[in-house]
């Protein structure tokens, strides 16, 4: 459990279970910048890297300098399969759709076994409402493993993210991580995909689904284990896309409560 919490501290994000503001649709921008790389100081570089085809679809993505390296297969504009080609883990993620939205993702190992699955649900205006993972326990079937839920501001940016680990005897203890996002600016968000997975998990992509349109200046983590607050400053290019994100994180619990450290993230894009 300590390992899970420490991994979450790297990308520093996510939500809670309070009353939501009225929900309005979050329109997808007509023109999207194609993120090339995200570099996180003191972490393997590039921390994320992307390549695209002429239609602007992601065809490959890597994490942590290639610890994971993904290839994408499409049917039209829909992702059908994402396969990890790096290391011994050759998992495939199979995407399933209903009414044009991803509603299920199956995790298939190199032996062909569906060992994990994720179900996705959306609210009445098409925003992502929840993601629920199950893990296979032999002949018993799938056990509920984790539920992530989102609450939004009326402007369409995520307000709270609740990450609930469900107890599985012998595998994991129950835990809850709650993140509150505040003080959004008007700059474009380039890294909302990080809200869909943990750093030690396979990446998930939902093209066209907006969780964050803009960038929060403050994120507060509460719940089980390590608690912290972070404040950020963004520098943008002439089109309003971030080229740097700097800030500080203050630990609010544990033996190191009160300690602060710096965060420095750089973004690069294709022309």
CA 57 to mean position of chain CA atoms: 18
Q: What's the rounded Cα separation, in Å, for the pair 81 and 71?
A: 8
Enclosing H/E stretch for 251: strand 242-251
Q: What's the rounded Cα separation, in Å, for the pair 44 and 107?
A: 25
Q: What's the rounded Cα separation, in Å, for the pair 135 and 86?
A: 22
pLDDT at 15 exceeding the cut of 50: no
Q: Fill in the DSSP letter of residue 168.
A: B
Residue with tokens 């998990």: 201
pLDDT at 226: 93
pLDDT at 21 exceeding the cut of 50: no
Q: How confident is the model at residue 29 (pLDDT cuts 50, 70, 90)?
A: very low
Tokens representing residue 135 in the block? 């893990």
Contact 93, 105 (CB under 8 A): yes
| Average pLDDT of the residues in 44-70 | 96
Q: In sequence order, what are the residues at sequence separation of 6 or more whose Cβ sits closer than 8 angstroms to the Cβ of residue 11?
A: 40, 194, 199
Contact 229, 220 (CB under 8 A): yes
pLDDT at 170 exceeding the cut of 70: yes
pLDDT at 13 exceeding the cut of 60: no
User: CA torsion angle for 84, 243, 196, 138 (degrees, to 10)?
Assistant: 30
pLDDT at 1: 42
By DSSP bridging, strand 228-236 and strand 128-136 are unpaired
pLDDT at 256: 93
Phi, psi of 269 (to 5 degrees): -135, 160
DSSP string, 172-197: B--EEEEEEEEEE-SSPPS-GGGGGS
Tokens representing residue 7 in the block? 């991994």
The three-class DSSP label of residue 221 is: strand
Q: How confident is the model at residue 4 (pLDDT cuts 50, 70, 90)?
A: very low
Residue with tokens 């008007």: 186
pLDDT at 22 exceeding the cut of 50: no
Closest CA to 147 of 128, 160, 162: 162
pLDDT at 84 exceeding the cut of 80: yes
Enclosing H/E stretch for 6: helix 2-9
The domains located in the chain, with CATH, are: 2-269 (2.40.160.190)
pLDDT single digits (tens) 194-209:
999 988 899 999 999 9
pLDDT at 14: 32
List the Cα angle 153/154/156 in 5-degree steps.
70
pLDDT single digits (tens) 233-255:
999 999 999 999 999 999 999 99
Q: How confident is the model at residue 8 (pLDDT cuts 50, 70, 90)?
A: very low
pLDDT at 88: 80
pLDDT at 41 exceeding the cut of 50: yes
pTM value? 0.86
Tokens representing residue 80 in the block? 């059908």
Tokens representing residue 261 in the block? 């450290």
pLDDT at 32 exceeding the cut of 80: no
pLDDT at 17 exceeding the cut of 70: no
Q: What is the mean pLDDT of the chain?
A: 89
């Amino acid at each position: 459990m300590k390992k899970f919490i420490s991994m979450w501290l790297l990308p520093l994000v996510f939500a809670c279970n309070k009353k939501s503001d009225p929900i309005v649709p979050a329109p997808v921008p007509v023109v999207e910048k194609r993120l090339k790389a995200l570099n996180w100081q003191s972490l393997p570089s590039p921390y994320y890297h992307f390549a695209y085809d002429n239609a602007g679809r992601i065809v490959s993505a890597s994490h942590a300098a290639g610890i994971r390296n993904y290839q994408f297969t499409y049917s039209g504009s829909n992702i059908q399969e994402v396969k990890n080609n790096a290391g011994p883990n050759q998992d495939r993620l199979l995407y399933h759709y209903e009414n044009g939205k991803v509603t299920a993702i199956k995790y298939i190992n190199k032996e062909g076994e569906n060992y994990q699955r994720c179900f996705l649900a959306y609210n009445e205006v098409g925003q992502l409402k929840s993601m629920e993972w199950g893990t296979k326990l032999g002949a018993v079937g799938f056990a509920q493993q984790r539920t992530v839920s989102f609450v939004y501001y009326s402007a369409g940016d995520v307000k709270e993210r609740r990450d609930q680990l469900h107890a599985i005897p012998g595998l994991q203890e129950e835990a809850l991580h709650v993140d509150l996002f505040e003080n959004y600016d008007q700059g474009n968000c380039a890294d909302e995909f990080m809200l869909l997975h943990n750093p030690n998990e396979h990446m998930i992509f939902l093209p066209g689904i907006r969780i964050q349109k803009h960038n929060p200046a403050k994120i507060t983590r509460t719940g089980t284990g390590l608690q912290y607050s972070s404040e950020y400053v963004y520098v943008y290019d002439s089109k309003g896309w971030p080229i740097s994100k700097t800030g500080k994180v203050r630990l609010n619990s544990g033996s190191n409560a009160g300690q602060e450290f710096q965060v420095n993230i750089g973004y690069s894009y294709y022309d």
